[in-house]
Each structure stands twice: as C-alpha cells, then as structure tokens.
Amino acid sequence: MQTTIKGTTLPVLEITLNPGESVISTHGELSWMSPNITLSQTTGGRGGGGFLSAVKRAIGGGSFFQTQYQAQGSGPGMIAFATKVPGEILPMQVGPGRGLYVHRHGFLCGTPGIQATASSVPGLGAGLWGGEGFVLQRLEGNGEAWIELSGEVSTYQLAPGQTMLVHPGHVGLFQESVSFQITRLQGVRNILFGDNGLHLVALTGPGEIWLQSMPIPLLAHAVYPYLPRPSSN
C-alpha cells in the first residue's frame, strides 16, 4: 500500500492498493477510484472489532456497517478521498495504548485493523450538531488511520493535569490518554445554543490534542444569514 496526500487548501488522500489489500471507512464517501476497486460492507472484521464494534457504533449514533474498498485482479488499484471543506488530512498510527478520539466526521479511512466506534457526548444541543448531539469517534485497534480536520490545525502537548478549554466545534482529535468533560460558563449568552451559558470541552492531559480552526457547524452558522430565504407569498 502506498499513500499520497496531494494539494494544500483542499487536500486529497490518494491510496494505491496492491491486489488483496483494502481500506475501510465509516461513511463510504469516496471521491474517485480505478475500475478494479470493489466495494463491500463489513461490520469491521480482520482486527476491526467485528459485530460488537458495529453494535457500539450504532448505539453511539454511527453506522452499523463500514465500507471496505479492495483491489482485485493482477494489478494495483487506486482510490481517493477528498476533503469536504478547506483543511488538512493527517496520517495517524493507532495501536495498543495509542487510541484516538476524533470529531464525528473526522475519520476519513483506515487500514482493516482499525476499530471505529461512536459515542454521543451528553450535555450539548443536538440541534446544532445534526440530531445526535456532539459525537466523538473512538479509534482503536492496530493500523493506520487518516483524519480530516477543517481549516488550520493547532497542536498542543498537554502535561499531566494541564487543561485546555475548547469550543466543541474546534475539537478535532486527541489521544486517548487525554480526559474530557463538558463544562459550562455562566453569564455569556451562547448564540449557537440559544441559552445563557457557554458550553466548552475541558481537555486534560497528559497527551496531545489537535484543534481545528473552521468546524463545519460554525461555518454553516456564519453563512446562514446570507442564504436566500423562501418567499412568504
């Protein structure tokens, strides 16, 4: 398997698979591929957690099935995943003790040994975050994953006990050693949630965190006033 990340503002992940090699994703949002790539649905076998992993994804608001892309025939095949908005694609190694938490749309794809589950974090408005509330994906297992983050990415190494307070939309990715909880600051009206209080995610080290500058929900809120309105007549 060979991978290349092309571009800058709107990068594309291009993967060349040898015959029999495969990658998985939770959404099936491929951009383009060669004709000898076959698609199938899987619950996440070959080290990806199998049926129990699929149940955990479904309970957390994710998809029960994953999409598997595999090269067939005698020659290599190519598949590409493009970012939806300007941002970055980060290759990450996952292994025992090196799991990751990713924002709900961040897991682009991974090798079959990656187990991806989803869990809804209580305490945040479901209306803004697309019905299920604020959702994080947990990546574990053994393999390589590619993560899509929006806008510019800022990375911080948190020492033990060190905390960063982050707006939920800017939470991109963090190591499993980092603990998190929802906190609410009173006295500030939150224009996104429509209540008197600002919801933040407290990320506490030790571990590394990756924060994104342009989360899609905040982008949608920013452009909403400029969208055409249906006529009242």
Report the predicted TM-score, pTM, of the whole model to 2 decimal places.
0.81
CA gap 61, 38 in Å, rounded: 27
Tens place of pLDDT for every residue, the chain, 233 residues?
A: 999 999 999 999 999 999 999 999 887 779 999 999 999 987 654 444 554 554 454 444 445 578 999 999 889 999 999 998 899 999 999 999 999 999 988 999 999 999 888 876 655 544 444 444 568 899 999 999 999 999 999 999 999 999 999 988 899 999 999 999 888 776 555 554 445 557 789 999 999 999 999 877 777 777 778 888 776 55
Q: Which residues pair with 84 in a beta bridge?
A: none
CATH T-level fold of 2-225: Double-stranded beta-helix (3.60.160)
- What CA–CA distances, in Å, run from 206 to 94, 149, 175, 202? 17, 22, 9, 13
User: What are the structural domain ranges in the chain?
Assistant: 2-225
Contact 128, 91 (CB under 8 A): no
